[in-house]
Amino acid sequence: MNDEQRQEIIRRLQQGEELSPEWARIIFPPEKREYELVYHGKEREEDIIANTLAVPLQKVRTFGKNGDGWHNKLIFGDNLQVMKSLLELKRAGDLSNTDGTQGVRLVYIDPPFATKQEFTGQSEQKAYADKVEGARFIEWLRRRIVLCRDLMAEDSSIIVHLDDRKVHEIKVIMDELLGPGNFRNAVIWRRTNSHNKLNRQFGPIHDTLLFYARGAFTFTPGKRPFMRGYIEGRFTNKDKRGIYQTNYLTGPGVRTGDSGKPWRDFNPSLSGRHWAIPRQIRELCKKTLDGLTTQQQLDVLEKEGLLHIPNKEGGQPMYRQYLTDGVPYQDLWCYQSNSQGILYGTKECIDEDVRYLEDAPESIGYPTQKPEGLIARCISSLSKDGDLVLDAFAGSGTVPAVAEKLGRRWIAIDCGKLAIYTIQKRMLILRAKIGNYGTPLKPKPFCLYNAGLYDFSKLKELPWDAWRFFALQLFQCRDEAHKIGGIQLDGYLKGTSVLVFNHQKQPGVRIDEETVQSMHEALGSKVGSRMFIIAPALVFDFQQDYLTLDGVRYYALRIPYSIIHELHQREFAALKQPADEMAVNDTVDAVGFDFIRSPELEYVAMANKRKGEMLSEGVIRIKTFKSEAVVRDSTKKANRETLSMVMLDYDFDTESDVFDLDAVFYAEAIQKAEWEVRFPLESLGKQLMAVFVDIYGNEAREVITAGKFGLGDTKAAVKPAKKSREKTRK
């Protein structure tokens, strides 16, 4: 920085002016990186980690027999906060691959593209909105990629699936976060059929998969068949080994050693080349070539019948290139419909294994669902059996489904209730083959967790160690037991001692001023100027945030309690649930945690005979739906305004108690239908379960018998029709 610049900076700061980003380059010249993406609101990586609240994972349920060791994880929560908690698990050695290495072997993420907000509004506003929204989106995703990277094992890969709108910016971000040297490919995947109605652009039909890897990462790409024309036109020779073509035995460049010397009257140096014996024929040769000169090796290969010596004098010797089992995956994954017959030895179309979904049988109707074949290519190429695969934007659960089929461990995170129920169902009715067909496949036991939205009643049932851990995590305390004045304390919060009150050991005991006083007598000023006591809200017998005794402040950290707001100095935002199908792919940014509060619900169930139709339809008319949450946007909402969606299991089985998602109705559509959920009665079993989800992710669950829809509990009146989707095996 020169003197003039220094003076200018001082002048601007003294006058209270803001410094534009260009000055940042001068004050903080880039050191390690040659380039970086500059935008408003870009946080330091260290701050991202430090400012992210870890939200403990609360187990809701285990599917399958609960054994020891690793359990695959399905987690409902904001991935940023969840990944911060997973980082703690990694540090504690609890995030392992089967071979014992720590960390995730493969991260695949398919984030929403933030399109809805960006492409609305008047054209003038749009340009501005694009920029603001664009920067916000990039930072939103960058924060998550930072966490993904920190969760990765030493030898691992990451794939970020994006479309054209943001891939270029994110490529630069990935270079910053993972190092440009770790960039492997930008794989182009065809995601849809050709477009006919074009808006003055070529048809946008592909997505891009940014692939980065570090360390000695696993790389075992599969193969695809050759083009038939190539094989039939070139592999025209045949011997006992099979069909072959002749190919060059030399490579470009002159060499002075053996490989530059003549053999069989052919001098490769004269044409600027040298002998380069390909691996394929080395491997086919039954005799050892070790320790031989190039020319001796060529002699052996010739004797073995692996070379082709031209009849013409001085002609270039060639080798026999035999047909192999296919071409390894390239970076263009482009399904071509109607291309049957074009590939050698198969009736498949080009890249049929990664064909886009359209109305393929594996489609379960989740918006943005990706095909299993696409994910199978990623997982099989970049991980081994027993490796841990993470999808932090799990959606319909394609990654856990494929990971399960390929014998990998998995963690799937999503902040949408619809996604969680879709994945739960999908895992329970898996079929063994990629594309979801073949024999039924029982998944390994997996656990469903809540993170950030907790069931307080279950929390109280936790054994003491788990409760203590949960409490410390919740308030971001360091778990470090220590003693002061003979009192056993549990950890630190920003350097201040923390006590997790053992309400289980002392049932019925309340923390009142007297309790704090006797604690204070033991601790005195040795504890410093403040101390935190964590306990369930109801255990405290005083209302204040803290009590002051001889200048020492004893803070009450109530669970749940909004002091966490003060501690983290930020507003909390809920896990916003979508109210229409378009919004399923919105970006979600939740901060903090809350406790499940069942919404207030009043409804009537009935049957409705439609004019001119034989069968009646089932109707659930929602009369009241109200919910609340201790979050930023918890302004009073009108009746039914907080409804996000209603999900139905048409044939709920009380015994297994698994909600088996059959249909989803978004609030927007329900509102249009005069707040009625209408469904075909022929789908109904003996009873249905309806899950009413609010926009904060809370649920009200109702089991409604067929009788309520006028069918009689035996359902004699209506024969159950086949379900559109397979029923969960229980």
The site for ligand SAM (CB under 6 A) is made up of 78-79, 110, 112, 366, 368-370, 393, 395-396, 398, 413-416, 419, 585, 587-589
| Closest chain position to ligand SAM (CB) | 395
- Shortest distance (Å) from residue 267 CB to ligand SAM: 57
The gap between the terminal CA atoms of the chain, to the nearest Å, is 69
Which amino acid would we find at residue 5? Q
CB 419, min distance to ligand SAM, A = 4
CB of 305 to ligand SAM, least distance (A): 50
Q: Extract the tokens encoding 413.
A: 């995170």
How far apart are CB 664 and ligand SAM at their closest, in Å?
A: 13
Question: Judged by CB, which is closer to ligand SAM: 343, or 389?
Answer: 389
C-beta closer to ligand SAM: residue 264 or 433: 433
Decide if 682 contacts 719 (C-beta within 8 A): yes
Between 138 and 477, name the residue whose CB sits nearer to ligand SAM: 138
CA 597 to chain centre: 27
**Least distance between ligand SAM and beta carbon 694 (Å):** 16
Here the contacts of 128-135 (C-beta below 8 Å, separation 24 or greater) are: 132/40, 134/39, 134/166, 134/169, 135/39, 135/40, 135/41
Give residues with Cβ within 8 angstroms of 671, minimum separation 6: 640
CA-to-CA distance for 73 and 413, rounded, in angstroms? 8
Q: Give the ranges where 429-493 is alpha helix by DSSP (H).
A: 456-460, 464-474
Q: For ligand SAM, which is the closer residue by CB, 589 or 641?
A: 589
- Residue pair 35/172 in contact (Cβ under 8 Å)? The answer is yes
Report the nearest approach of ligand SAM to the CB of residue 394 (Å): 6
d(CA 61, CA 316): 70
CB of residue 144 to ligand SAM, shortest distance in Å: 7
Q: How far is the CB of 372 from ligand SAM (least distance, A)?
A: 9
Pick the closer one to ligand SAM by CB: 275 or 454. 454
Measured CA to CA, the distance from residue 405 to residue 435 in angstroms comes to: 10
**Least CB distance to ligand SAM at residue 147 (A):** 11
Q: What's the min distance (Å) between Cβ of 728 and ligand SAM?
A: 18
Do residues 644 and 636 lie in contact, with contact meaning Cβ atoms separated by under 8 Å? Answer: no
User: Considering the complex, what minimum distance in angstroms separates the CB of residue 110 from ligand SAM?
Assistant: 4
Q: How far is residue 214's CA from residue 637's CA, in Å, rounded to a whole number?
A: 49
What pairing do the DSSP bridges indicate for beta strands 409-414 and 72-76? parallel
d(CA 690, CA 504): 36
| Number of other CB atoms surrounding residue 518 within 10 Å | 10
Return the number of the residue (79 or 294) whose C-beta is nearest ligand SAM: 79
Report CA Rg, the chain.
32
Report which residue type is found at 561: Y
Give the nearer residue to ligand SAM in terms of CB position, either 417 or 520. Answer: 417
- For 678: left if phi > 0, alpha if psi spans -120 to 50, otherwise beta; the answer is beta
| C-beta of residue 117 within 8 angstroms of C-beta of residue 127 | no
Please say which residue, 163 or 657, places its beta carbon nearer to ligand SAM.
163
State the Cα–Cα distance between residues 102 and 216, nearest whole angstrom.
14
In terms of CB distance, is 321 or 396 closer to ligand SAM?
Answer: 396
Nearer to ligand SAM, 191 or 370 (CB): 370
Residue from 369, 411, 396 nearest 108 by CA: 411
Query: Would you say 26 and 1 are in contact if contact means Cβ atoms under 8 Å apart?
Result: yes
The residue type found at 73 is: K
Q: Tokens representing 250?
A: 């030399």
Complex with ligand SAM: residue 95 or 413, whichever CB lies closer: 413
Q: What's the closest the beta carbon of residue 391 comes to ligand SAM, in angstroms?
A: 7
CB of 205 to ligand SAM, least distance (A): 17
Nearer CB in complex with ligand SAM: 352/391: 391
Is-contact 66 440, C-beta < 8 A?
Answer: no
Nearest-angstrom CA–CA distance, 682 and 303: 76
Which residues in 105-121 are b (16+ Cβ under 10 Å) and which e? bbbbbbbbbbbebbeee
Which is closer to ligand SAM, CB of 250 or CB of 380?
380
Least distance in Å: CB of 368 to ligand SAM? Answer: 4
For ligand SAM, the closer CB: 117 or 368? 368
Residue 698 gets which letter from DSSP? Answer: -
What is the four-CA torsion angle of 97, 103, 106, 108, rounded to 10 degrees? 130
Task: Give the residue carrying structure tokens 């291309």.
Answer: 339
* Cβ-based neighbour number of residue 378 at 10 Å: 25
In degrees, to the nearest 5, what angle opens at C-alpha 709 toward C-alphas 704 and 713? 70
The C-alpha atoms of residue 527 and residue 496 are separated, in whole angstroms, by 8
Least spacing, CB of residue 360 vs ligand SAM, in Å: 13
Phi then psi for residue 10, to 5 deg, are -60, -45
- What are the E-state strand segments in 457-544? 478-484, 487-493, 496-500, 530-536
**Smaller CB distance to ligand SAM: residue 307 or 364?**
364
The enclosing H or E element of 190 equals: strand 183-190
Q: Closer CB to ligand SAM, residue 413 or residue 646?
A: 413
Q: Shortest distance, CB of residue 469 to ligand SAM, whole angstroms?
A: 23
CB of 166 to ligand SAM, least distance (A): 13
* Nearer to ligand SAM (CB atom), residue 398 or residue 683: 398
